[in-house]
Chains A and B, each alone.
Chain A
Amino acid sequence: MTPPTVVITSPGSPPQAPAMPAAGPLLSGLTTSRAASVSLPLRYMVTGLLFAVFAFGLATAYAQSFVDDVFLTPHLLAATHLAALGWLTMIAMGALYQFVPVVLDVPIFSERLGKAQFYLYLAGVLGLAYEMGSGRLQTVAWPAGLLVLAIGMFLYNMVRTLARVERWPLTGWFILAALTSLGLVVTAGFVLAVNLILGFVPLSQLAFVEAHAHLAALGWLGLLAVGVSYKLTPMFALSHPFNEWRLGRAIFVLLTTGVVGVFVSLLLRLGPVALLACWLVVGAGVGLYAWDYATMLRVRRRRPIDLTQQHNVAGVAGLVLTTLLGLALVLTPAEAAGHSRLQLAYAVMALAGWLGLTTLGQLYKIVPFLVWTHRFAPRMGKEKVPLLKDLFPQRLATAGFVGLLAGLVVAELGVLTGFLPVVQTGFALATAGTAIAATNLIRVVFR
């Protein structure tokens, strides 16, 4: 007997994004004709998870660097770049390869380019961490060059992809601003690396480092995290009614303006008043965003706060604390006692407390979803298939989250008080928590 024919049609166009109430439980998947193949984003995500464990492990092993008065020690630089590039940027790029086609309804310009870029980028991250960790700042130009090439390929791929977008939801604008920041970050980073040898730019190296780091964390990773949350949070939580544009437009303007202002103020050393003014603009954006995020959760129809939302709530708290620590830094003279501790506490809070927790939380949705759509979606309707939450042990995941969160709180206290055993304990806990998350998620991939 011939099986029945199944015909799928879509006679009408979906409504324009700005007019739609942002609500819906269905996530990005591979079954759309636009979506990238599963192996492209997953290679970035799996590698990023391993780098997360590596970065925290390095921070634990060299915890002394977090209590010394000497700022920017080799191991600190290595751990920071492993976190920013190996962990967070690696995962962010993988997520964009999966997220952009789905949210902005365009296929990735070239998946082959995305795969080739991965290996160059990986070599660049490893090389940079090695050279920095060895204290050979004069030779960071070669891995920096690899990174510029790899990120340049990524940006080219994204620009060619985004050129075809017809409708721009709020998330799309944040992605565009984040990618623009990334272009500036990598340019500034490469100029910095070359300038270490040639010294051709008559600007303070420290000013360069600070401006570069802020643009990376706030501009590239930060704007991306905020933008992505406007799509994923209402989707996961079934937030309704919620209009992303009501405060989102003002938040976008405040954050992008503030980030540019902070970058320029730091780079050109415009002074504490200009920096404070720019930071207050960032702070206003963060405050409004925290309010809007709370609104998304307040109007949610799906009442239980799941693991991803727990990470995200902690991440938004981390963002608010980052902003307050940044304000304290702006108001504290550089020569004041404890200034370098405050800087370190601020950096740890931004990279791990805000961006790290947020990234790991989103991976608990994205990775199982990718695997589910690849392995189980073709069987749906014919047989019982597992749910996303069935793909990994929830209790173990919660244990990992608690370990990471507790570790970060302890490490922050240790950094602020300059007490080495507390810093070591905190980072050890965070390493364990991240290792649990990495193991859990990588096991899903190989399930």
Chain B
Amino acid sequence: MIDKEALMEALKNVYDPELGLNVVDLGLIYGIEQQDGTVQVDMTMTTPGCPLHESMLQGVGDALSIFAGVKRVEVRLVWEPLWTPDRISAEGRQALGWAA
């Protein structure tokens, strides 16, 4: 088993190129599970039908592929619960200039 913190840290290399925020601080990652060399990630997009979803999903898959022992990465795009800006981390809010 790979340390979950290490996986989350790797996901911080996947950025929204417009906002400059990574998928973790944006609150797009809903869950990470591991079993028998397979890492399964549930993630969402900030808006349904998001045009960037394939490159973001692929980026998440590629970011987790670097770990030794990972044979398969499954990235699932989910829409429940719907993303809202409240999911953005404190660091992310600061980067956006959103103090609330």
Show the binding face of A for B, using Cβ within 8 Å: 3-15, 17, 20-29, 31-33, 35, 102-103, 105, 235-236, 238, 240, 301-304, 365, 369, 372-373, 376-378, 380-382, 384-389
8 Å CB interface, B39-86 against A: 45-65, 70-80, 82-85
Question: Do A25 and B19 touch (CB < 8 A)?
Answer: yes
Q: Is B13 an interface residue (CB 8 A)?
A: yes
Question: Do A301 and B65 touch (CB < 8 A)?
Answer: no
Question: Do A24 and B45 touch (CB < 8 A)?
Answer: yes
Contacts of A15 in B (CB 8 A): 48, 79, 82
Partner among A235, A303, A388 whose Cβ is within 8 Å of the Cβ of B98: A303
Question: Do A6 and B85 touch (CB < 8 A)?
Answer: no
Contacts of A236 in B (CB 8 A): 18
Q: A15-B82, A102-B51 are in contact. Are A10 and B76 (CB under 8 A)?
A: yes
Q: Is B30 an interface residue (CB 8 A)?
A: no
Contacts of A35 in B (CB 8 A): 51
Contacts of B57 in A (CB 8 A): 8
Question: Do A11 and B76 touch (CB < 8 A)?
Answer: yes
Apart from A7-B73, A240-B84, A384-B13, what 19 extra A-B contacts exist at CB < 8 Å? Answer: A5-B71, A5-B72, A7-B75, A8-B58, A11-B76, A15-B82, A20-B48, A23-B47, A24-B83, A26-B51, A27-B52, A31-B53, A302-B19, A302-B97, A377-B52, A381-B13, A387-B15, A387-B20, A388-B17
Contacts of B82 in A (CB 8 A): 15, 20-21
A-B contact pairs, 5 of them (CB 8 A): A3-B65, A10-B77, A23-B46, A301-B96, A386-B17
Question: Do A380 and B14 touch (CB < 8 A)?
Answer: yes
Question: Do A8 and B50 touch (CB < 8 A)?
Answer: no
| Chain B residue with Cβ nearest A99 | B51
In this complex, the member of A13, A26, A235 whose beta carbon has the largest number of chain B beta carbons within 10 angstroms is A26
Show the binding face of B for A, using Cβ within 8 Å: 13-21, 26, 45-65, 70-80, 82-85, 88, 93, 96-98
Q: A15-B79, A303-B98 are in contact. Are A29 and B51 (CB under 8 A)?
A: yes
Q: A7-B73, A301-B98 are in contact. Are A385 and B55 (CB under 8 A)?
A: no
Contacts of A303 in B (CB 8 A): 96-98
**How far, in angstroms, from A105 to B47 measured CA to CA in the complex?**
13
**How far, in angstroms, from A406 to B15 measured CA to CA in the complex?**
36
Q: A8-B61, A301-B88 are in contact. Are A27 and B51 (CB under 8 A)?
A: yes
**How far, in angstroms, from A196 to B55 measured CA to CA in the complex?**
53
| Chain A residue with Cβ nearest B37 | A4
Which 5 residue pairs of A and B lie closest in terms of their CB atoms, listed nearest first?
Answer: A24-B47, A14-B48, A303-B97, A24-B46, A6-B61
| Chain A residue with Cβ nearest B77 | A10
Contacts of A20 in B (CB 8 A): 47-48, 82
| Chain B residue with Cβ nearest A104 | B49
A337 to chain B, nearest CB (A): 50
B70 to chain A, nearest CB (A): 5
Question: Do B60 and A381 touch (CB < 8 A)?
Answer: yes
Contacts of A240 in B (CB 8 A): 84-85
**How far, in angstroms, from A336 to B53 measured CA to CA in the complex?**
58
**How far, in angstroms, from A382 to B73 measured CA to CA in the complex?**
14
**How far, in angstroms, from A361 to B38 measured CA to CA in the complex?**
44
Question: Do A9 and B74 touch (CB < 8 A)?
Answer: yes
Contacts of B65 in A (CB 8 A): 3-4, 6
Contacts of B76 in A (CB 8 A): 8-11
**How far, in angstroms, from A389 to B50 measured CA to CA in the complex?**
20
Question: Do B18 and A387 touch (CB < 8 A)?
Answer: yes
Contacts of B50 in A (CB 8 A): 24, 26
**How far, in angstroms, from A376 to B58 measured CA to CA in the complex?**
12
Partner among A6, A10, A12 whose Cβ is within 8 Å of the Cβ of B58: A6
**How far, in angstroms, from A331 to B82 measured CA to CA in the complex?**
50
**How far, in angstroms, from A9 to B75 measured CA to CA in the complex?**
6
**How far, in angstroms, from A382 to B17 measured CA to CA in the complex?**
14
Q: A303-B98, A380-B14 are in contact. Are A26 and B79 (CB under 8 A)?
A: no
Question: Do B84 and A385 touch (CB < 8 A)?
Answer: no
Contacts of A105 in B (CB 8 A): 49
Partner among B15, B19, B96 whose Cβ is within 8 Å of the Cβ of A385: B15
**How far, in angstroms, from A387 to B72 measured CA to CA in the complex?**
28
Contacts of B71 in A (CB 8 A): 4-5
Question: Do A387 and B17 touch (CB < 8 A)?
Answer: yes
Partner among B13, B52, B63, B73 whose Cβ is within 8 Å of the Cβ of A5: B73
In this complex, the member of B26, B56, B85 whose beta carbon has the largest number of chain A beta carbons within 10 angstroms is B85
Question: Do A382 and B96 touch (CB < 8 A)?
Answer: no
Question: Do B52 and A373 touch (CB < 8 A)?
Answer: yes
| Chain B residue with Cβ nearest A304 | B97
**How far, in angstroms, from A378 to B52 measured CA to CA in the complex?**
12
B24 to chain A, nearest CB (A): 12
**How far, in angstroms, from A8 to B41 measured CA to CA in the complex?**
10
Question: Do B18 and A369 touch (CB < 8 A)?
Answer: yes
Question: Do A23 and B49 touch (CB < 8 A)?
Answer: no
